[in-house]
Amino acid sequence: MKFFVDTADVAAIKELNDLGMVDGVTTNPSLILKSGRDIAEVTKEICDLVDGPVSAEVVAEKADDMIREGKHLAKIAENITVKVPLTWDGLKACRVLSDEGYMVNVTLCFSAAQALLAAKAGATFISPFIGRLDDINLDGMDLIADIREIYDNYGYETEILAASIRSVSHITDAAKIGADVITAPPSVIKAMANHVLTDKGLAQFNADWAQTGQKIG
Ligand code: G3P
């Protein structure tokens, strides 16, 4: 499973990237706002740091404007993936951009029907939003499973990029279903290392070790 980091926080990306945990990055207008940085500047910095795809999102609503913005963003670096919303215009932009060889991430996907359209429009990635479905008492993980089944039925190569990840179990559940990629905030990826029994076991080992009076090295 590929791990993308869902942030425009360069220091946080660097920490995970240094561990070899980062296969790509996703950003969106809200994350750019949160970073307080200029979009071109921060995106370039991220692209210089990370080898894998870095999603940068268009903000236009008409297909022609999305295509223009997407091409502009793609000039930042070779590993830019143009992110477009799952609207009819977004699908048109996806078709044109992917036909011209750009990587395209279709975002704000909330149904299997939308995901099927994105695959047919040539999307490189489809981004179903798990957490936001859970927020309205639907099961985001059911959507991941439905898309996996549909894509496998027909051999679509569009990668399922499970997004709006809020918890460690979102990641492990998406992995069990076979999502190709997860994108998660750095805090959630780091939380994967935590377990109460690890903490308890370590405390016991340290206490017992202290009683031996020994030192290593
Ligand atoms: O990748 C999409 C993600 O940024 C949305 O996450 O937590 O704002 O729903 P969230």
Pocket test for ligand 1, best of 165, 170, 181 (most atoms within 8 A of CB): 165
**Binding site membership of 163 for ligand 1 (Cβ less than 6 Å):** yes
Q: Ligand 1 atom 9: the closest Cα is on which residue?
A: 164
- Cβ distance 42 to 66 under 8 Å? no
Task: Read off the DSSP letter of residue 215.
Answer: -
Q: Which atom of ligand 1 has the smallest separation from the CA of 163?
A: 1
Helix or strand (DSSP H, E) at 99? helix 88-99
Q: How confident is the model at residue 212 (pLDDT cuts 50, 70, 90)?
A: very high
From residue 197, give the alpha-carbon distance in Å to each of 84, 85, 201, 209.
42, 42, 6, 18
For 49-85, the pLDDT digits (tens) are 999 999 999 999 999 999 999 999 999 999 999 999 9
Claim: this prediction has a pTM higher than 0.75 = yes
Distance CA 130, CA 141 (A): 6
From residue 63, give the alpha-carbon distance in Å to each of 46, 60, 79, 90, 180.
26, 8, 22, 6, 27
**What is the architecture, at CATH level 2, of domain 2-192?**
Alpha-Beta Barrel (3.20)
**Binding site membership of 6 for ligand 1 (Cβ less than 6 Å):** yes
Q: Average the pLDDT over 91-102 and give the result.
A: 98
The alpha carbon of 164 and the centre of ligand 1 are apart by a number of angstroms equal to 4
Q: At what angle do helices 168-177 and 140-154 cross, to 10 degrees?
A: 20
In the numeric block, which tokens belong to residue 124?
């490189």
Q: What angle do CA 138, 85, 93 make, to 5 degrees?
A: 145
At 158 the pLDDT is 98
Q: How confident is the model at residue 96 (pLDDT cuts 50, 70, 90)?
A: very high
What proportion of the chain, given as a percentage, has pLDDT over 70? 100
Provide the mean pLDDT of the chain: 98
Catalytic residue numbers, as ranges:
83
At 148 the pLDDT is 98
Distance CA 150, CA 156 (A): 8
**Binding site membership of 4 for ligand 1 (Cβ less than 6 Å):** no
The alpha carbon of 1 and the centre of ligand 1 are apart by a number of angstroms equal to 19
Report residue 120: phi and psi, to 5°: -65, -25
What proportion of the chain, given as a percentage, has pLDDT over 90? 100
For 163-194, the pLDDT digits (tens) are 999 999 999 999 999 999 999 999 999 999 99
Pocket test for ligand 1, best of 126, 129, 134 (most atoms within 8 A of CB): 129
At 136 the pLDDT is 98
**Binding site membership of 132 for ligand 1 (Cβ less than 6 Å):** yes
Q: Average the pLDDT over 118-129 and give the result.
A: 98
